[in-house]
């Protein structure tokens, strides 16, 4: 049985306070917000109150929030929706080499539809250069999508500077903020963001819900056609229970983020210090300073990350080797390869992410188990 969970980037438990906030919407407030009777009115009021709370979370206006089934759908709606609606202005899109797989695959879809896509390389810390973004802008560029922070190595991107560049060039700017939400203060106004994807589960809300922030004046084409909900941009009856849960989760984050970030950062720093000290030929991946407060990402010479994950799992410790959304392939992380690592180096990676329910005993258990596991696997490895 797993007793230590250090894989908060791939999935977070729903906070008990969020579950409590969701409960009334299963039987008591069950109306359809599109219905015109009084029961429907109650549902509409609840929907719009939740929309307002979530807008506050990212410093947006309520009517700039579009509910979707998750961040993957929000990314699709942002990129495909904007490209289709604005193709008369141009057909060139820019992303980074280390975007989430949902961005990469959406970009591939757009390429098959006649759009061109340029990818911005990153440095060995996994950070995008504003200069290199600018170099790839052409007269045909209509959209730039750069993730707020990398979901694997935790490197934080210069979003404010990229947003300012896009605003100066009159190019729409989208960011996938899933890895950063709840950990960094999100402000779509200060960062000159036009479109932003956010997930419910990444702030301890229910799975299967996300939002797309769309700045007023930005035009996109809907990707799900039906009854015209969400101002005609995402049809389908809204999931009131999950939306209320996400709204409560957002309020908790705003109330507790400052103290919580300090706590998580102390765990992160302890992991980095002790792992690098106790295990020879171990290395930190990602930026040493401009990284998410909950992320410690390592690589180890001579061993496979999958063997490391399974060995720790046998000891009751759940960790990750990279993005859960692309874990079904045997390919090395595209993020680590883009950072300049060799395939064998990328395969020997370990991602540790802490969260709201992490305890000091969890950190101690990992630090005790990991050196023993690495030593045993190296003795078995023909690569070491």
| Residues that are catalytic | 325
How many alpha carbons lie under 13 Å from residue 27 in its C-beta half-sphere?
Answer: 1
User: Which DSSP string do the residues of 122-160 spell out, in sequence order?
Assistant: B-TTS-B-HHHHHHT--TTEEEEE--SB-TTT-BBP-HH
* Count of Cβ atoms closer than 10 Å to residue 383 Cβ: 11
| CA distances from residue 290 to 119, 123, 153, 179, 183 in whole angstroms, order as listed | 22, 13, 11, 14, 13
Tokens 């009021």 correspond to what residue? 45
Dist CA 182 CA 292 (whole Å): 10
Q: Would you call 295 helix, strand, or coil by DSSP?
A: strand
Structure tokens, 341:
């690592």
Q: Quick one: which H or E segment has residue 56?
A: helix 38-57
| CA distances from residue 333 to 97, 311, 338, 343, 378 in whole angstroms, order as listed | 11, 20, 9, 9, 21
Residue 53 burial by Cβ neighbours in a 10 Å radius (0-12, 13-18, 19+): buried
What DSSP state is assigned to residue 31?
A: -
User: Which DSSP string do the residues of 211-269 spell out, in sequence order?
Assistant: EEEE-TT-----SS-SS-TTTTTS-S---HHHHHHHHHHHHHHHHHHHHHHHHHHHHHH
């Amino acid at each position: 049985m797993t007793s230590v969970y250090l894989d908060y980037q791939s999935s977070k438990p729903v906070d008990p306070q969020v579950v409590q906030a969701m409960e009334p919407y299963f039987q008591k407030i069950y109306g359809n917000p599109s219905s015109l009777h009084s029961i429907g009115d109650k549902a509409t009021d609840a929907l719009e109150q939740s929309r307002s709370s979530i807008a506050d979370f990212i410093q947006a206006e309520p009517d700039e929030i579009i509910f979707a089934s998750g961040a993957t759908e929000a990314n699709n709606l942002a990129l495909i929706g904007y490209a289709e609606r604005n193709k008369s202005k141009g057909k060139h899109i820019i992303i980074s080499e280390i975007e989430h797989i949902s961005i990469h695959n959406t970009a591939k879809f757009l390429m098959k539809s006649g759009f061109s896509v340029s990818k911005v390389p990153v440095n060995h810390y996994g950070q995008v250069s504003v200069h290199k973004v600018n170099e790839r802008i052409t007269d045909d560029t209509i959209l730039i999508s750069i993730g707020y922070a990398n979901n694997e190595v935790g490197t934080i991107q210069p979003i404010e500077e990229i947003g300012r560049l896009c605003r100066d060039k009159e190019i729409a700017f989208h960011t996938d903020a899933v890895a950063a939400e709840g950990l960094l203060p999100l402000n779509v106004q200060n960062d000159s963001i036009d479109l932003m994807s956010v997930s419910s589960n990444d702030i301890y809300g229910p799975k299967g819900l996300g939002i797309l922030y769309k700045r007023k004046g930005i035009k996109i084409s809907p990707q799900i056609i039906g009854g015209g909900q969400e101002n005609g941009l995402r049809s389908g009856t809204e999931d009131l229970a999950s939306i209320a849960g996400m709204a409560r989760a957002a309020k908790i984050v705003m109330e507790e983020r400052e103290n919580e970030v300090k706590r998580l950062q102390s765990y992160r720093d302890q992991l980095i210090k002790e792992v690098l000290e106790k295990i020879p030929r171990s290395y930190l991946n990602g930026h040493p300073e401009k990284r998410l407060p909950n992320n410690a990402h390592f690589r180890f010479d001579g061993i496979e990350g999958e063997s490391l994950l399974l060995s720790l799992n046998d000891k009751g410790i759940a960790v990750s080797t990279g993005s859960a959304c692309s874990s079904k392939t045997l390919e090395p992380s595209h993020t680590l390869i883009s950072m300049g690592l060799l395939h064998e180096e990328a395969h020997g990676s370990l991602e540790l992410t802490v969260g709201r329910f992490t305890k000091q005993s969890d950190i101690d258990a990992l630090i005790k188990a990991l050196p023993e596991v690495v030593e045993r696997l190296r003795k078995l490895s023909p690569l070491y």
